[in-house]
Amino acid sequence: MVHYKEKNKFEAAAKYGDDRVKIWRRAYDIPPPQLEDFSEHNPRNDSKYHYLDKRVLSLTGCLKDTVERALPYCHNSIIPSIRSGQNVLICAHGNFLRTLIKYLDKVPDEEIVELNLPTGKSKEITMNEQMFALRTPQIDANQLDEDFHSYNWEIFSSLFRHSYSHLIHSFKHEFQLFLRLLTSYHTLLSSKSSATIGQQLLQIKYSPSLQTRRQKVLYLSTFAFTYLYEKFLVDYRRLLPFQFIYKLFLFFNFLLFLRQGTYINLFERFVQLKTVHDHPPSLRVLDYTYMKRELIWHTLNETLGTIIPFISSLKARTFMRKHLSGTIMRQLEQTNICSVCDQSIVMPHESMGECKHYFCYVCAYSLIQQSCPICFKEIPNIKPKEFSVG
């Protein structure tokens, strides 16, 4: 609901101006000022909503907020009914209807301001059999495909890690081409599937699938081009201007994809393959409980990781032996085993002070200006231990 801190839009226009009120009413992501806590229009003061958390009762809003609330309902209720062959009559608030039109007709944000829907006048919209997939699942599916090929290659190359490793380096691109063809044979080139590995995980697919011989040949030619491009151009740094132009085409194609929402790669654009949802997208409910737990854990982990290196384990053990010796900790005695590292003493050194116990050179050096773990006397410096003969 859009408000203006006034009784109606006419009073708001008289106070703030027609242009400002028009932006508040129809702009995509510019909300009007928030309601005051004491306002009679504030939903948080309405007894009808006493059972709701006040945080879910917005004090302002714009069309962008309506989109976030309306699209899940559209995918879960409206679109499945249309796909089942029904004609759906939608009678709703103007903002909800503008949301549907913006999504279905892909109206840009800057043009939605001029979209006007007269009250009581019907508008007929004819939809395709399937809705195009959103940009995010397409990008995620593309990234999942790349991750799968990388993981597949890592597992395959590990077979030759200890023997015939030279084959991996000499025929790397040939093996990768073989793995990609093998994967495609069981996915897109199979009559039972019309989706890649990443698309199957995200429940999207190509529509129509690869049915004609021309489409399959073009699909296989992309593998051949990638193989030749990486093996003979990238590895040997040849035809750098051509590489730049090719990457420039990829960049402009991606910009078009972000603008239009279709054809994330050049192959899809050449073959005119569009990605659609295999099933209607479900409503996603965000729960921050897990995120909070992860943040607390990572904060604790980083705090301990910063503090622990400053704590000397030797100091802690010496302190505990000094106060707990003879109770829960045994009292140390001088033996041929170093009391610090619990190993045989190498290059024995002793204190130059009152303490006459000796340790390994490295251990004794670490005890300088510290307390002896046996007698707890301070060790100012160390010297080689001299043993009497006879």
Query: What is the per-residue pLDDT across 274-289, written as a single tens digit (0 to 9) for each?
Result: 888 776 555 444 556 7
Q: Over 50: is that where the pLDDT of 309 sits?
A: yes
Q: Do residues 184 and 266 share a domain?
A: yes
Comparison of pLDDT for 298 and 341, the residue scoring more: 298
For residues 23-52, average pLDDT: 75
The enclosing domain of 340 has a CATH number of 3.30.40.10
Residue 329 · residue 348 · CB < 8 Å: no
Question: 121-161: per-residue pLDDT in tens?
Answer: 777 776 655 556 678 888 888 999 999 999 999 999 888 87
> Is residue 125 assigned to a domain?
no
pLDDT at 250: 92
53 burial level (CB within 10 Å; 0-12, 13-18, 19+): exposed
pLDDT on residue 2: 44
Q: Is the pLDDT of residue 348 over 70?
A: yes
Residues 261, 184 share a domain: yes
Number of domains into which the chain is organized: 4
Among the residue ranges 81-95, 98-112, 324-338, the one predicted with the least confidence is 324-338
Q: Is 26 marked within a binding site?
A: yes
Q: Is residue 79 part of a domain?
A: yes
Mean pLDDT, the chain, as a whole number?
A: 78
Write out the residue range of the structural domain in which residue 379 sits.
329-384
Instruction: Tell whether 80 and 45 lie within a shared domain.
Output: yes
Write out the two tokens for 142.
């593309």
Report if residue 303 sits inside a domain.
yes
Three-state SS for the chain is CCCCCCCCHHHHHHHHCHHHHHHHHHCCCCCCCCCCCCCCCCHHHCHHHCCCCHHHCCCCCCHHHHHHHHHHHHHHHHHHHHHCCCCCCCCCCHHHHHHHHHHHCCCCCCCHHHCCCCCCCCCCCCCCCCCECCHHHHHHHHHHHHHHHHHHHHHHHHCCCCCCHHHHHHCHHHHHHHHHHHHHHCCCCCCCCCCCHHHHHCCEEEECCCCCHHHHHHHHHHHHHHHHHHHHHHCCCCCHHHHHHHHHHHHHHHHHHHHHCCCCCHHHHHHCCEEEECCCCCCCCCCCHHHHHHHHHHHHHHHHHHHHHHCCHHHHHHHHHHHHECCCECCCCCCCECCCCCCECCCCEEECCCCCCEECHHHHHHCCCEECCCCCCEECCEEECCCCCC
Residues 197 and 251 in one domain: yes
Choice among 242-251, 271-280, 354-363 with the minimum mean pLDDT: 271-280
What is the residue type of 271? Answer: V
Q: Are residues 65 and 147 in the same domain?
A: no
Indicate if 239 and 306 belong to the same structural domain: no
**Mean of the pLDDT values across residues 63-73?**
78
Choose the final residue of a domain: 82, 113, 144. 113
Is 95 annotated for ligand binding?
yes
Q: What is the pLDDT of residues 249-307, one digit of tens each?
A: 999 999 988 888 888 888 888 888 888 877 655 544 455 677 788 888 888 888 888 87
9 known member of a binding site: yes
Same domain, 154 and 240: yes
Tell whether pTM > 0.85: no
What is the rounded average pLDDT of the residues 210-221? 82
Q: Let me know whether 295 and 363 are in one domain.
A: no
Q: Render pLDDT for 5-29 as a digit per residue (tens, 0 to 9).
A: 445 666 666 777 777 776 666 677 7
Same domain assignment for residues 266 and 172: yes
The answer to whether residue 311 is domain-embedded is: yes
Does 203 lie in the same domain as 271? Answer: yes
Does residue 123 form part of some domain?
A: no
For residues 101 and 62, state if they share a domain. yes
Residue 97 in any domain: the answer is yes
Q: What is the mean pLDDT of residues 364-388?
A: 81
Model confidence at 76: pLDDT above 50? yes
Residue 330 has pLDDT above 80, yes or no: no
Q: What is the CATH number of the domain that holds 10?
A: 3.40.50.1240
CB-based contacts of 365: which residues, under 8 Å, 6+ apart?
349, 382
The answer as to whether 390 is a domain residue is no
As a whole number, mean pLDDT of residues 102-113 equals: 74
Q: Is residue 187 part of a domain?
A: yes
Looking at the structure, do residues 172 and 242 belong to the same domain, yes or no?
A: yes
* Structure confidence by residue, pLDDT tens digits, 177-209: 999 999 988 888 887 777 888 888 888 888 777
